Amino acid sequence: VQLQASGGGLVQAGGSLRLFCAASGRTFSNNAVGWFRLAPGKEREFVAAISWNGGSTSYADSVKGRFTISRDNAKNTVYLQMNSLKPEDTAVYSCAANRRSYSGIYSASNEYNYWGQGTLVTVSS
């Protein structure tokens, strides 16, 4: 499965963006999906994850209450709604999928097998 993240851009602090993770090649409606981000000079960081049916979600403490992950399996798309953005949210955001069907929810990057190219989010102060 190929993943493509989109929706990034430049936004002022306090603003909002909605990221999209679309799958092609085959459906990922049976698979857990996660969002990660990579900021300059920092290690890859877990942002949010969602189970295959959307019934379970998980968030990093740094985004809890501001970001919301959701999915529409009919559209083969996972979303990341980002509100109240801060300059420290600036990073390249990537989505990833776990290859096991109907499995759990994961925050570790090594649990994900398929990765898409990222989309840049820049938050200005």
What are the pLDDT digits (tens) for 67-97? 999 999 999 999 999 999 999 999 999 999 9
Q: Could you report the per-residue pLDDT of 2-44, keeping only the tens digit for each? A: 999 999 999 999 999 999 999 988 888 999 999 999 999 999 9
- Strand pairing class (77-82; 2-6): unpaired
Which residues, at least 6 apart from 120, have a Cβ–Cβ distance to it below 8 Å? Answer: 8, 9, 91, 92, 93
SS3 (DSSP) at 125: coil
Check whether 56 has a pLDDT greater than 90.
yes
Q: Which two tokens stand for residue 117?
A: 């190219």
